[in-house]
Amino acid sequence: MKRLRRAALVTFLVYVTLTLLGLVPTLPLAGSLGAIEAPETPGGGALLDVIDETAPALGAGTTAGLVLAFVLWLLSPLLQMAWLGALASHRTAGEALSFGASRYARAVVVSLWMTIPLAAVVLALVVPPAVGHLALASSPNERVHDLVVLALLVPGAFLLLVWCAWHDMARAALASGHDRPRDAVRASLGRLGAPAVLSYAGWTGLAALLAVGGHALGAWLDGSGGFEALLALVLLQVLALSRVACRGAWLGAALDRVEP
């Protein structure tokens, strides 16, 4: 948490970046939905009509969101390295961004190295369920078939979780002294243990919980009145910032584990 306090400004900037990008699909979609004066019809009649009415805006919003997500994905190594740089040592926002830019290419190479274990993870995700499916294909008990296939997905899903933690730790290693991507990947593998995976799972789970909680809170508050609308906006943005902070806390924990 000490690291997170140190990098509070960069963490906030990450939140601001997500917010600004999020506004691009939000503004037209909210405008088009808000313009509909849907009456409250028992049994959801108006809701169904609203789906029809907003389908074009929703489609455009989804496309815009996907394009932005792609742009963000391309920017992600820079932002993550800047964030890790700020978490690793005292840096101003400008210095952190400069650090991020200087590590961009190496962060990408780290991801490329990580595609090797990722291939194994994908195999673990695909092969056991496929074998289970083939073994039980002629079984008349579909419930047993489905549950076995589902259970056989669990090891692969667990390995994916481990891989995600490893990937973040490899980039953290890059920010904490390992200049060569291959060394960063190796060094982080050496520090990858149950505590690291549990820490990743804990922070990521908390972030997901905040996201789900935010959606539930938004639905509950409704926000059709002036004060309620403001309250909804403030509370949801606090949750959005908290979610970013969870991610920052994990990256800080990753640095703790990989620092020499």
174-193: contacts with other proteins (CB under 8 A): none
* Shortest CB 218 distance to other proteins, Å: 4
* Shortest CB 73 distance to other proteins, Å: 5
* Shortest CB 108 distance to other proteins, Å: 13
As to burial, measured by CB atoms within 10 angstroms (0-12 exposed, 13-18 middle, 19+ buried), residue 195 is: exposed
Residues 232-251 that bind other proteins (CB under 8 A): 232-233, 236-237, 239-240, 243-244, 247
**How many residues touch other proteins (CB under 8 A)?**
73
Residue 150 as a binder of other proteins (CB under 8 A): the answer is no
Question: For the chain, what is the radius of gyration of the CA atoms?
Answer: 22
Provide the mask over 58-87, with x wherever binding to other proteins is found by CB under 8 A and - wherever it is not: -------x--xxx-xx-xxx-xx--x----
Measure Cα distances from 61 to 26, 65, 75, 118, 244 in Å.
7, 6, 21, 31, 23
Which of 42, 90, 116, 194 touches other proteins by CB under 8 A?
A: 42
Consecutive H or E run containing 42? none
Residue 36 as a binder of other proteins (CB under 8 A): the answer is yes
- Residues 63 and 69: their CA atoms lie apart, in Å, by 10
Q: Which is nearer to other proteins, 123 or 216 (CB)?
A: 216
CB 169 within 8 A of CB 254: yes
Q: Which DSSP string corresponds to 106-151?
A: HHHHHHHHHHHHHHHHHHHHHHHHHHHHHHHTT-S-HHHHHHHHHH
Which of 6, 12, 33, 136 touches other proteins by CB under 8 A?
A: 33
CB 12 within 8 A of CB 241: yes
Span interacting with other proteins, options 23-31, 108-116, 182-190, 252-260, rule CB under 8 A: 23-31
DSSP label at residue 180:
S
Q: Which is nearer to other proteins, 51 or 123 (CB)?
A: 51
> Of 30, 65, 11, 40, whose CA–CA distance to 247 is shortest?
11
List phi, psi (to 5°) of 52.
Answer: -60, -45
Span interacting with other proteins, options 122-130, 173-181, 194-202, 218-226, rule CB under 8 A: 218-226
Residue 52 as a binder of other proteins (CB under 8 A): the answer is yes
* Shortest CB 248 distance to other proteins, Å: 9
Half-sphere exposure of 178 (CA within 13 A, CB side): 23
* Shortest CB 251 distance to other proteins, Å: 8
How many residues in the chain?
Answer: 260
Which of 117, 155, 202, 218 touches other proteins by CB under 8 A?
A: 218
* Shortest CB 52 distance to other proteins, Å: 5
* Shortest CB 82 distance to other proteins, Å: 8
- Residues 17 and 26: their CA atoms lie apart, in Å, by 14
Residues 94-133 that bind other proteins (CB under 8 A): none
